[in-house]
C-alpha cells in the first residue's frame, strides 16, 4: 500500500503523482539502483545519488523508548531521478516525505525490509542538488547481525547505546547505508533534563526548555553511515586538549567512571602517539563514550568518539583510536575489505604496547604464530572473509595484524611506516580496497609483494613461508 505525504501542493498534486506511477518504462529507466553492489549486503546502499549532508533532529524519551524524528538529507543526483530508494527499516512509522519541499509518494515494500522507495512529484534532474525530508516516530529496534551480534539502537536503562556496523544505521534514520557514500552531519538531539546526548564531531550548543535539553553536534568531516552515533544516557563528562592540540570529549556512565578513568586518561597520549606514527590526526576532535551496555559485547569506532559497552582495557582503547585513521578516515569500499580497518587497528594497538614498554608487536606476532594450523587465528583469510557472518572473525583481526608486522619485518621500519603514513595521507577521507593497498605498498616500497600478500591475505592455510 502506498502512503502519500502532501506538503505545499495539496490533494491535486498527490493525485497526479499517483497517476504518474503508471508510466512504467520511464520510471524504470530513471530509478536509482536498489543496493550499492556489495555482495555481503545486497540491499545495503542505493544508486542514483550522492548524499552530501544529513541533518538529524531527534527527540528521545528513555522512559518510554519513544523516538520522534526528522531527517533532512541534501544530495546530488547522479542521473535523472523519477524515483529513488533510501535505506530505512520498517520498525518506525513514517508520517511524511517531501522532496524539495513538495510532498512525495513513498512506499516500504515488506519483502525488501529496509527499502524506502520515494517518488518525487517532479523528477530530479541529473547533477542537481535536492533535499529530502522524512518525518517519523516510534520505538527503535535493535537488529541482529549475521554473526549473531546486536546493533542499531540498543536501549539501556537510562538511554540508548547506538552503533551501526555493519547495518544498524537504517534502524533509526533513513540514509544511503553504504560505506562509500560519506557525508557531513548535524545533530539536534532532545532528551529529558539530566540525560546527555552525545554524537559525532563537536558540541556546538546546549539549550534547555522545560524538562527537555537539546544537544547540538556538528561533524564537519565526511563520515560513513555505519560510524554514526547518538548515544544517550547519564554520563560524567570530561573535556580538554591533548598535548598535541587535539580537543577531546570523554564520557562515562557514572557507575563505570571509577573503573574506566585510568585507561581513558591515556587517550590523549594514544592520540598523539598515533599522530607520530601515521601523520596529523584526521578529525576536528577525539573522544570516548563508556556506557553500561555489556549485553552488546563489543566496542565500536564511531567517528571521533568510539563507544565502549564496558570499561575498556588499554589495548582496546588504542585499537579504537587507531580506527580514526584506518576505518574512519580511510574507509573500505566493500565489506569484504574490512581488513583495511580491523587488521590495521589491531596492529596499532600492538604498537602502542611496544611504545609504552609492554609486549612488542613482534612478541604478539610470535605468540599467535605458535597457534596450530587449525586455530581460528588462521581462518578465514583476512583478505577474503567469505561472508557477512565472518566479518568479525578473530583471523581478520589477529592474522590481519600479523600481516602488517610481517610486512614491517620484510620492508624495515623506515619503509614500512612510510607506506602507512603515505597511504593515509593519500587516501584520507576516501574509500579503498585491499587490492589498492597491495599496489600502493609495492609502488611505495619498490618491491614485488604479490606472493607476500597472497600468502597472508588470500590463502586459507597458515602462512609458513613468504
Bridge partners for 450 per DSSP? none
Q: Per-residue pLDDT tens for 345-373?
A: 999 999 999 999 999 999 999 999 999 99
Q: Per-residue pLDDT tens for 48-68?
A: 999 999 999 999 999 999 999
What's the burial of 138, exposed, middle or buried (CB within 10 Å: 0-12/13-18/19+)? middle
**Cα 122 to Cα 130: distance, rounded to the nearest angstrom:** 11
Superfamily of domain covering 3-234: tricorn interacting facor f3 domain (2.60.40.1730)
Number of helical (H) and strand (E) elements in the chain, helices listed first: 11, 23
Res. 14 pLDDT band, cuts 50 70 90 = very low
3-state DSSP percent of the chain in helix, strand and coil, to 5: 30, 30, 40
Higher pLDDT, 17 or 71: 71
Res. 29 pLDDT band, cuts 50 70 90 = low
**Cα 163 to Cα 302: distance, rounded to the nearest angstrom:** 7
Fold adopted by 235-277+286-312: Zincin-like (3.30.2010)
SS3 state at 429: coil
**Cα 45 to Cα 408: distance, rounded to the nearest angstrom:** 36
Supply φ then ψ for residue 173, to 5 degrees: -150, 145
Q: Would strands 115-119 and 105-107 be described as parallel, antiparallel, or unpaired?
A: antiparallel
Q: Is the dihedral of CA 46, 52, 55, 61 positive or negative?
A: positive
Q: Does an H or E element contain 132, and which?
A: strand 129-138
SS3 state at 130: strand
DSSP 236: E
Query: Which CATH number describes the domain made up of 331-458?
Result: 1.10.390.10
Q: Would strands 247-252 and 286-290 be described as parallel, antiparallel, or unpaired?
A: parallel
Q: Is the pLDDT of residue 21 over 80?
A: no
Whole-model pTM: value is 0.93
Domain residue ranges of the chain, discontinuous segments joined by +: 3-234, 235-277+286-312, 331-458
Q: Per-residue pLDDT tens for 259-280?
A: 999 999 999 999 999 999 999 9
Strand locations in 293-344 (E): 307-308, 331-332
Q: Per-residue pLDDT tens for 82-130?
A: 999 999 999 999 999 999 999 999 999 998 989 999 999 999 999 999 9
The chain-wide mean pLDDT, for the chain, equals 94
Q: Per-residue pLDDT tens for 327-337?
A: 999 999 999 99
**Cα 201 to Cα 180: distance, rounded to the nearest angstrom:** 19
Residues 326 and 344: beta-carbon distance below 8 Å: yes
pLDDT of residue 12: 32
- Which of 13, 153, 2 minimizes the C-alpha distance to 69? 153
Q: Does an H or E element contain 11, and which?
A: helix 10-19
Q: Is the pLDDT of residue 13 over 80?
A: no
Res. 466 pLDDT band, cuts 50 70 90 = very high
Amino acid at each position: 500500500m502506498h502512503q502519500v505525504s502532501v506538503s505545499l501542493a495539496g490533494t491535486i498534486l498527490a493525485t497526479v503523482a499517483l497517476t504518474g506511477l503508471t508510466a512504467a518504462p520511464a520510471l524504470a529507466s530513471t530509478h536509482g539502483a536498489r543496493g550499492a553492489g556489495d555482495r555481503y549486503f545486497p540491499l545495503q546502499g542505493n544508486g542514483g545519488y550522492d548524499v552530501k549532508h544529513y541533518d538529524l533532529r531527534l527527540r528521545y524519551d528513555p522512559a518510554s523508548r519513544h523516538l520522534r524524528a526528522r531527517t533532512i538529507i541534501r544530495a546530488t543526483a547522479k542521473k535523472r531521478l523519477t524515483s529513488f530508494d533510501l535505506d530505512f527499516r520498517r520498525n518506525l512509522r513514517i508520517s511524511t516525505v517531501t522532496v524539495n519541499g513538495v510532498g512525495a509518494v513513498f512506499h516500504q515494500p515488506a519483502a525488501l525490509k529496509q527499502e524506502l522507495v520515494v517518488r518525487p512529484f517532479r523528477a530530479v534532474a541529473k547533477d542537481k542538488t535536492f533535499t529530502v525530508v522524512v518525518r517519523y516516530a516510534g520505538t527503535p529496534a535493535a537488529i541482529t547481525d549475521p554473526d549473531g551480534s546486536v546493533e542499531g539502537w540498543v536501549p539501556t536503562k537510562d538511554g540508548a547505546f547506538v552503533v551501526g556496523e555493519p547495518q544498524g544505521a537504517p534502524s533509526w534514520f533513513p540514509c544511503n547505508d553504504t560505506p562509500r557514500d560519506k557525508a557531513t552531519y548535524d545533530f539536534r538531539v532532545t532528551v529529558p533534563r539530566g540525560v546527555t546526548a552525545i554524537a559525532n564531531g563537536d558540541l556546538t550548543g546546549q539549550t534547555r526548555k522545560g524538562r527537555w535539553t537539546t544537544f547540538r553536534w556538528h561533524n564537519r568531516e565526511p563520515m560513513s553511515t555505519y560510524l554514526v552515533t547518538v548515544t544517550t544516557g547519564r554520563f560524567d563528562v570530561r573535556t580538554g586538549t591533548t598535548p598535541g592540540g587535539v580537543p577531546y570529549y570523554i564520557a562515562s556512565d557514572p557507575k563505570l567512571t571509577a573503573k574506566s578513568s585510568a585507561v581513558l586518561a591515556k587517550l590523549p597520549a594514544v592520540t598523539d602517539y598515533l599522530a607520530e606514527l601515521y601523520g596529523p590526526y584526521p578529525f576536528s576532535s577525539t573522544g570516548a563514550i563508556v556506557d553500561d551496555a555489556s549485553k552488546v559485547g563489543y566496542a565500536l569506532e564511531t567517528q571521533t568518539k568510539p563507544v565502549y559497552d564496558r570499561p575498556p582495557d588499554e589495548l582496546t582503547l588504542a585499537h579504537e583510536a587507531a580506527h580514526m585513521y584506518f576505518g574512519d578516515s580511510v574507509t573500505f569500499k566493500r565489506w569484504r575489505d574490512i581488513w583495511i580497518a580491523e587488521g590495521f587497528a589491531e596492529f596499532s594497538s600492538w604498537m602502542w604496547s611496544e611504545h609504552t614498554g609492554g609486549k612488542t608487536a613482534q612478541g604478539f606476532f610470535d605468540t599467535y604464530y605458535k597457534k596450530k594450523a587449525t586455530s581460528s587465528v588462521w581462518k578465514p583469510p583476512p583478505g577474503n572473509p567469505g561472508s557477512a557472518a565472518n566479518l568479525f572473525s578473530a583471523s581478520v583481526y589477529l592474522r590481519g595484524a600479523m600481516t602488517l608486522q610481517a610486512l614491517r619485518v620484510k620492508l624495515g621500519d623506515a619503509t614500512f611506516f612510510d607506506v602507512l603514513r603515505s597511504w593515509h595521507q593519500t587516501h584520507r577521507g576516501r574509500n579503498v580496497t585491499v587490492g589498492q593497498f597491495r599496489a600502493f605498498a609495492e609502488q611505495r616500497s619498490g618491491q614485488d609483494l604479490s606472493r607476500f600478500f597472497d600468502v597472508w591475505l588470500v590463502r586459507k592455510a597458515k602462512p609458513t613461508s613468504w
